[in-house]
Every structure is written in structure tokens, then in C-alpha cells.
A and B are shown apart, each in its own frame.
Chain A
Amino acid sequence: MDQQFDASKMGMWIFLVTEVLLFSGMFVAYTVYRVWHPETFDLLSGALDWRLGGFNTLVLLGSSFTVAMSIHSIQKSDKKATVMYLVITLICAAAFMVVKYIEYTTKFEHGVFPGAHFAPHGEHYAPFDVPYAPQFFSIYFVMTGIHGVHVLVGMGVIAWIAIRTAKGHFDSQYYTPIELTGLYWHLVDIIWIFLFPLLYLI
């Protein structure tokens, strides 16, 4: 059993490494275009609402805490607390996605699309129609979009794990899936912690 737990955990860590490398391609693209067009990127970070981004950062940080607490609880075989923490995590993730939805739709309404379809209008967005602005928004949508997909996948997994915990599948002897989900969720959180300042603040 110990060997299985070790093997699964190692497998998960390796998987997380591949996730980091998946995102690394996008971070490289970001760096290249930022170095080439610093003034554009500087200006355009103002187009994003740092308050919404900041709220989402807090929400995700909170969810990382609750998912850690769920592992702590199952180690003491406290299934009720585990389910509760997992559900709070799920609510945080949902809140994150709702804010993301609001951000995306507001931009779409004002013609802020990635790449070739970029045609901003409206009081807030019109000043951002500068050269290489489409690149910035392409990178913004691609990075946050793929991160969002990871959040959605995480929500599915957390929901499934919560149901299995409620059904009594896990206890302090066997809780590998919860631990692995927690590892994955922390990664989703960490990637956002890099995305937020790079896109919204600087």
C-alpha cells in the first residue's frame, strides 16, 4: 500500500512538471513580446481590472488553504470536515470562474478579441487600440483561457472526490486521490499567482 501511494504521488509530481512545461511555452511567448514591446504591455496592463484579478487571487489562495485542510481532515478520518472543505474549495473555484466570465464578456462586448479580430471600442477600451495590442490580448486570452480550463477540470475532479468521500471511500488509511487532487489544485493556484502580476499589474 505504501509503495502504491508513493508511486501515485511520484506519478502526480511528474505530471505537474509536464503542466509547468506546458505553461512555460506561453510564459516564453509572453516574455518575448513583452521585451519587444514594453510600452505596449505597460499600457495594456491598465486595460485589465486589477481589482477583479486581485479578488480572484484571494479566492484561489483561500481555496488552496481549504484543499490542504481537507487532506488534513481525512488524515484524521474526519470525513464530514473533509467534504465540507472540498465543497468550500469548489465554491471558491466557481467564484473564480464567474469573475473570469464577467471579465471575458465585458471585453467581448467592447470588441476586445484576441488577434486579428481585435477592434476595441467604448470609453474604457478605445485608448488601448495601439500597435501590438492584439498580441497582448492574444496572450492574455490564451494564458488565462488555458488556466481556466485547468480550473474547470479541477472542479470536476474535486466534485467527484467530494462525492466519493461522502460515500465513505476514503479514510486515514487510504486517501491517495484526495492528496493528488490537492497537489494538482496547488499547481493551478501557483500558475495564477504568476499570471496575475504579469498580466494585471506590470
Chain B
Amino acid sequence: MSETVAVPASIDTSVPKNYLNHDKSIKSWLLTLDHKRIALLYLVTISIVFLVAGVLALLVRAELFTAGETLMKPDTYNQFFSLHGILMVFLFIVPSVPAIMGNFVMPMQLGAIDVAFPRLNLASYYIYLIGGVLVVTAILAGNIDTGWTFYTPYSARLGSSVIFMTLAVFIAGFSSILTGLNFIVTIHKMRAPGLTWNRLPLFVWSIYATSIVQVLATPVIGITMLLLLLEKTLQIGIFDPALGGDPILFQHFFWFYSHPAVYIMILPAFGIISDLMGVFSRHEVQGYKFVALSSVAIAFLGFLVWGHHMFVSGQSAISSIVFSLITYLIGIPTGVKVLNWVGTMYRGSVSFKTPMLYALSFLFLFTIGGLTGVALGVLGLDIHLHDTYFVVAHFHYVMMGGTVIAAIGGLHYWWPKITGKMYNETMGSIAAVLIFIGFNVTFFTQFVLGTKGMPRRYYDYQIQYEALHQISTVGSWILASGLFLVLFTFIHSLMKGKKAGSNPWGAATLEWTHTASPPSPHNFDEQPIVTHGPYDYHALARVSGDGAAQTSEPELSESRH
């Protein structure tokens, strides 16, 4: 850990080299210490996981198209929805935004040449990869049908595949911890001169809050998985009631991690949305300090509400009441964010580029997801809705409608910086609209199904639910077509995209104002000095003279600062 700074390879100064083409060997990619290249390694790997887990979801939805057997046997169905959940939660959504965009953008937003510990960063990637290999091993070993929650005693009595799967979660957790640790130190120690805490882009603030949760919560899932592993191999009897253990203890441990973990998943999305709102409204994000600190408040409160997953598990009434009340409190900092985003748009001048379309989708979907979350925190209502499709819909509105949509929006926003190419705005917008429609058709129906009493995870159902299930499945096809169009848009951009200027959006954060697109291997030609806030477009206009332009077409000329 002593080598804090990656020494850039000697660069041929005659041709302008960027981080993508300065060394093209495979070894230079696999052993790279450059945060930007590591981000791309993550991008490719995590996208593959998303594709696999997404196809599993489509198959699950297809099976539910008719009551009774449609495509597959019950055992296969159980395994498919379990794998969908495990892959999506532990290998996709937890690492997604921090590992990809956090890695790529955050050091540049700080004006740093890399993260604090580049070697550790690369190690985190390979640890994640080992976790992925173990998941594949577990799938090959067969019959994982525990759901993503691994509740005991069932999980402790299942075959050997659970051993691989828990080990995979344990190891992927380490990757998450090390990334979080790396980011906290980076944000504390590597900010450019003049970049005070009050001038940090809100994306950095949210990555900071996320990292704190990663570091504090993930070790607990680590030890839980380890104990489950020992339960399985040595029958230590901590969780299995047949041996005198307590399955509720497992649930407490599990949710002590997994509730904060949903904030690991959503907080970085908040950061992306804040940045998008500022840039595409061309207005300082309203209530900057409140938006920044509400991330930290959510991170803190997130540790105190795990019991709301266990209202019907047999915890005491007093615990349930307390957990329920603290759950309501989380609505406050979250509401602060939503109101400030709306206020930013109200005061600003909004341009409906693709990233902004995703930001608006997010605002709409996340608000529904968040409010239904508060509803589920109500004790009496939760007894009725517990373990129904209502919970499934709520979760997907927050995770998919929230995090995934924000992540795709962020990817469009930073795409010109990552690749140096523009994407096709028309295709991008069509995909955004398709995803929005498909998502709502898929999941809003599930709110209705849930209130009518359709239990989650069931293979079969009463015939009166069939129509709604069919609408939901058709929605999943629209959603999938939107997502594939996103993939196509990006591939099209790589092959035929127009060259992007260094700052096509007229943003005021350092990754746009002080680096080329794509950036050079060491990001900045000289150490940037920060003199204004992250959304101060007036200051930007004074410095560069072109910042105020409300461009309808992306600015294509390479501007030098």
C-alpha cells in the first residue's frame, strides 16, 4: 500500500495519446493501475452480469405468463428467480455505480491523477472476479433455490452449492469493502487545491456516503456468510433450530447488512441525478448543502431500520414499533433531495437530452418507490402486504426505477468522456422512453397484484391473477427492448459516433473542464486549481467564454483551456 500514486508510463508527446490507446496490449489492460481502465473492466464484467440476470428475469416473467406450467418446471423456476436476485444484488447493483462511474469519474472530479491506492483498486476488481467465478461454480453445482436472502434453516440444509454461493457473497463483499476504503481515503486526501468540501460535486458526496456504508455494513454480511458456511459444514448450531440455534438471529444479521446495502445501491444514483439536474437545468443545484448532507443522513439512518424487514418474523412488538418509526424518518432526507431536484429544474432552464430524460424518469419512479416504501413501513399495512408482489414492485421501483435508470442516465452523460464519441441522441431518447413505459407496465401491475394478495416467488397462481400477470410480462418485453436499444446505441456510437468535444454538455466539474475526451492516461496536463463551485455556470462562462451557451447540438470543437 506504500505506492500511493501510479506512475504513468512514459508517453510519446508527438501524438496526443489518451488512456485508451497509449498502450494497447492485453497485459496493459489486465494489469492496469489506471482508475479509468479499471472502471472499464468493471463496466464490461458488470454489464455481462446484468445481461445474464436480466435474461433470467425475462424467463421468470415468461413462466408467469399463464397459470400452471408455461415454460419450465417449478424447481427450475425457483432456481431462476433465486439466481436473478443473487446476481442482480451482489454482483450487479452493489458494485455497479461505485465501481464503474465512481472509479472513472470520482478521481477526475477531485482533480486527482488516480485513487489513493491504485493497486488495491485493481485487487478489488480481481476479488470481485473471484466472487463471480464462485457464483458460476455454485450454479454448476446446482439447485440454489434459497432466494437472494439465504434464510436459515433451509439454506443451511441445502446441498453443497450453498457453500460456493455464500463464499462468493463473502468474497464479493471484500471487493466492496476495499473499494469503499479506497474511495474514502481518496476523497479525504486527494482533492485538488481549492476543492473544499463545499465545492465537491454532489456525485462525490454520494460516493463518499456510499463508501462509509460499504465499509461499515459489509463486514457484517461477511461474518454472517462465514457463520452460515460453518453452519453448513460443521453444524455449529448458531442458526439452525434443530441444533439449538436461532434462525431469527440470521435474519437480524442478514438485514443489518442488507438494509444499509440498499443505500449502497441507491445513494450513488442520487449523486448522478444531482449532477444531471445541475448540468441539464443549467442552474446551481438548489440547497447544495442539504442535498450533500442528506446523503450522509440517509447513510446513518440506514443502519437503524433493518428490523422493518422482520415485522412478521416474531420480533417483539416494541422493536417493530421503533423500527417502523425510524423508517419514517428516512423519508425526510430523501424528501429533501427530491424537493431540491425539482426546485433546481424550476429555477433553471431545462434541456431534454437523453441523460435528463433518465433523470426525469428517475424522479418519477423513485418517488413512487420511496413513498410505497414508507407505506410498507406502516406496521398494520405491512402485515397485509408482506411477501406479496407489492414488495417486489416497491423494491424494483427503487432499485431498477431508481438505481438502474440513474446508472444508464449517468452512462449516457459520461459516455463522451469515457469513449470520446457522441451517441445518437434520437436513439438514446427512444430507448429512454421505451424503458420508462416498459418499466411501468411491468411493475405498476405488480403493485395491483400485491394489493390483491398475490404472494411473491410463487410458481403458480389462481386464475383471477392471470390478466395482470400477462400485462406485467408484456411490459417486461417492452423494457427489454428498451435496454437492448441502449446497448445498440452505445455500440453504434463506438463504431460511427461523432467525435466528442472535451465538454459537450457545458458542465462545470473538473472531469469536463480540465480533461480531454477521452482523458490522457494521467487525467490532467497540470494540477487543476479550483476557484468555483461544481455547478457555478456563471463562473464557467467567465473562465471559458462559452459556458453559457444553451447548445441544441453538442459542441464538437476541441476547446483548450
Please give the residue numbers on chain A whose beta carbons come within 8 Å of chain B beta carbons, in ascending order.
3-4, 6-8, 10-12, 14-15, 17-19, 21-26, 28-29, 32, 113-117, 131-132, 134-135, 138-139, 141-142, 146, 174, 176-177, 180
A7 touches B189 (CB 8 A): yes
Q: Which residues of B contact A12 (CB under 8 A)?
A: 1
Whether A115 contacts B234 by the Cβ 8 Å rule is: yes
Chain B residues, CB < 8 A from A17: 215-216
- B residues near A115, Cβ cutoff 8 Å: 231, 234-237, 243
> Smallest CB-CB separation from A25: which chain B residue?
B223
Taking A7-B188, A115-B243 as given, write out 14 further A-B residue pairs in contact, using a Cβ cutoff of 8 Å, ordered by the A residue number. Answer: A4-B4, A7-B189, A8-B117, A17-B215, A19-B219, A21-B217, A22-B219, A28-B252, A115-B237, A116-B237, A117-B235, A135-B244, A146-B226, A176-B1
- Neighbouring A residues of B120 by C-beta, 8 Å: 11
Do residues B189 and A18 form an inter-chain contact, with CB atoms below 8 A? Answer: no
CB–CB B185/A114 < 8 A: no
B64 is an interface residue with CB less than 8 A from chain A? no
**Bound: A138/B237 CA distance, A:** 7
Known: A4-B4, A135-B245. A29 touches B238 (CB 8 A): yes
A184 to chain B, nearest CB (A): 12
Residues of A within 8 A of B38 (CB): none
Q: Please, which residues of chain B bring their CB within 8 A of the CB of A132?
A: 244
**Bound CA span A177–B2, Å:** 7
Interface readout for B322-359 with A: 1 if CB under 8 Å, 0 if not? Answer: 00000000000000000000000000000000000000
From known contacts A18-B219, A132-B244, infer whether A7 and B185 are also in contact, taking CB-CB under 8 Å. yes
Cα–Cα distance between A117 and B235 once the two chains are bound (Å):
8
Name B residues whose Cβ lies closer than 8 Å to a Cβ of A. Answer: 1-2, 4-5, 116-117, 120, 177, 181-182, 184-185, 188-190, 215-220, 222-224, 226-227, 230-231, 234-238, 243-246, 249, 252-253
A83 to B138, CA, bound (A): 45
Complex CA distance for A162 and B219, rounded to whole angstroms: 30
Q: Which residues of B contact A3 (CB under 8 A)?
A: 4, 189
B75 to chain A minimum Cβ distance, whole angstroms, is: 28
A6 lies within 8 A of B189 (CB)? yes
**Nearest CB in chain B: distance from A39 CB, A:** 15
CB pair B181–A22 under 8 Å, yes or no, is no
Distance, CA A138 to CA B219, complexed state (A):
20
- Of the A-B pairs whose beta carbons lie under 8 Å apart in the complex, a sample of 6, sorted by A's number, is A7-B188, A22-B223, A25-B224, A114-B234, A134-B243, A142-B238
B243 touches A116 (CB 8 A): yes
Which residues of chain B are near A131, meaning CB under 8 Å?
244
CB distance A10 to B185 under 8 Å? yes
The residue that B189 contacts in the complex, of A10, A15, A24, with Cβ under 8 A, is A10
Cross-chain contact A142 with B5 (CB below 8 angstroms) = no
Q: Which residue of A lies closest to B224 (CB)?
A: A25
The list of the 8 closest CB pairs from A to B, nearest first, reads A116-B235, A25-B223, A138-B236, A115-B236, A21-B219, A4-B4, A22-B219, A115-B237
Which residues on B sit within 8 Å (CB–CB) of A139?
238
Q: Which residue of A lies closest to B235 (CB)?
A: A116
Do the beta carbons of A11 and B223 come within 8 Å of each other?
A: no
A17 CA to B218 CA, complexed, in Å: 11
Q: Indicate whether A4 sits within 8 Å of B181 (C-beta atoms), given known contacts A17-B215, A29-B249.
A: no
Helix, strand, loop or mixed for chain A's interface? helix
| Contact (A14, B2) CB under 8 Å given A25-B220, A116-B235, A138-B238 | no
A134–B237 contact, CB under 8 A?
A: yes
With a CB–CB cut-off of 8 A, which chain B residues contact A32?
246, 249
Knowing A22-B223, A25-B224 touch, does A14 contact B215 (C-beta < 8 A)?
Answer: yes
In the complex where A24-B220, A29-B227, A115-B236 touch, is A15 in contact with B181 (Cβ < 8 A)? yes
| A14 in contact with B249 (CB, 8 Å) | no
Query: Assuming A21-B220, A25-B253, is B188 touching A10 (CB within 8 A)?
Result: yes
Q: B216 to chain A: which residues have CB within 8 Å? A: 17-18, 21
Task: Give the chain B neighbours of A29 by CB distance below 8 A.
Answer: 227, 238, 249
The complex places the Cα of A6 from the Cα of B117 at a distance, in Å, of 12
Across-interface contacts of A14 in B (CB, < 8 A): 181, 184-185, 215
In the complex, the chain A residue whose C-beta lies closest to that of B246 is A32
Q: How far is the CA of A177 from the CA of B252 in the complex (A)?
A: 37
The interface residues of chain A lying within 8 Å CB-to-CB of B246 are: 32
A16 to chain B, nearest CB (A): 11
Contacts of B188 in A (CB 8 A): 7, 10
Q: In the complex, which residues of chain B have a beta carbon less than 8 angstroms from the beta carbon of A180?
A: 1
**Pairwise interchain contact A22-B222, C-beta atoms closer than 8 A:** yes
Of all chain B residues, which has the CB nearest A139?
B238
**Closest CB-CB distance, B166 to chain A, in whole Å?**
14
Whole-angstrom distance from the CB of A117 to the nearest CB of chain B? 7
Q: Which residues of B contact A24 (CB under 8 A)?
A: 219-220, 223
Contacts of A8 in B (CB 8 A): 1-2, 4, 117
Which B residue sits closest to A145, measured CB to CB? B230
Q: Which residue of B is nearest A18, CB measured?
A: B219
Asked if B2 and A176 sit within 8 Å, CB to CB, the answer is yes
B116 touches A7 (CB 8 A): yes
Please indicate the chain B residues that have their CB under 8 angstroms from the CB of A15 in the complex.
181
Q: Whose C-beta in chain A lies nearest to the C-beta of B4?
A: A4
**Can you name the residue of chain A whose Cβ is closest to the Cβ of B174?**
A18
> A65: shortest Cβ distance to chain B, in Å?
25
Specify which chain A residues have a CB less than 8 angstroms from the CB of B224 in the assembled complex: 25
The docked-state distance in angstroms from the alpha carbon of A32 to that of B120 is 36
CA distance A7 to B115 in the complex (A): 11
Check A11 against B234 for contact (C-beta < 8 Å). no
Contact A11 B117 (CB under 8 A): yes
B243 cross-chain contacts in A, Cβ below 8 A = 115-116, 134
Contact of A18 among B2, B177, B238 (CB under 8 A): B177
CB distance from A164 to the nearest CB of B (A): 11
B5 engages A4 (CB within 8 Å): yes
Contact B237–A11 (Cβ < 8 Å): no
Q: Is the CB of B227 within 8 A of A18?
A: no
Contact (Cβ within 8 A) A142 B219: no
Q: How far is it, in angstroms, between the C-alpha of A8 and the C-alpha of B486 when the chains are bound? A: 40
When C-beta atoms are compared, the residue in chain A nearest to B117 turns out to be A11
Output the residue of A14, A141, A176, A177 with the most chain B CB within 10 A.
A14
> Which residues of chain B are near A7, meaning CB under 8 Å?
4, 116-117, 185, 188-190
Nearest CB of chain A from residue B541's CB, rounded to whole Å: 34
- Contact present for B181 and A18 (CB under 8 Å): yes
Determine how close the nearest CB of chain A comes to the CB of B172; give it in whole angstroms.
15
B105–chain A nearest beta-carbon distance, Å: 20
> Are A18 and B215 also in contact (CB < 8 A) when A29-B227, A135-B244, A177-B2 are?
yes
> For residue A26, which residue of chain B has the nearest CB?
B223
With a cutoff of 8 Å between Cβ atoms, the chain B residues found around residue A116 in the complex are: 234-237, 243
Q: Which of B120, B185, B231 has the largest number of chain A CB atoms within 10 A?
A: B185
**Chain B residues, CB < 8 A from A6:** 189
User: Closest Cβ of chain B: how far from A149's Cβ, in Å?
Assistant: 11
Nearest CB to that of B2 among chain A residues?
Answer: A176
Q: How far is the CB of B432 from chain A (nearest CB, A)?
A: 38
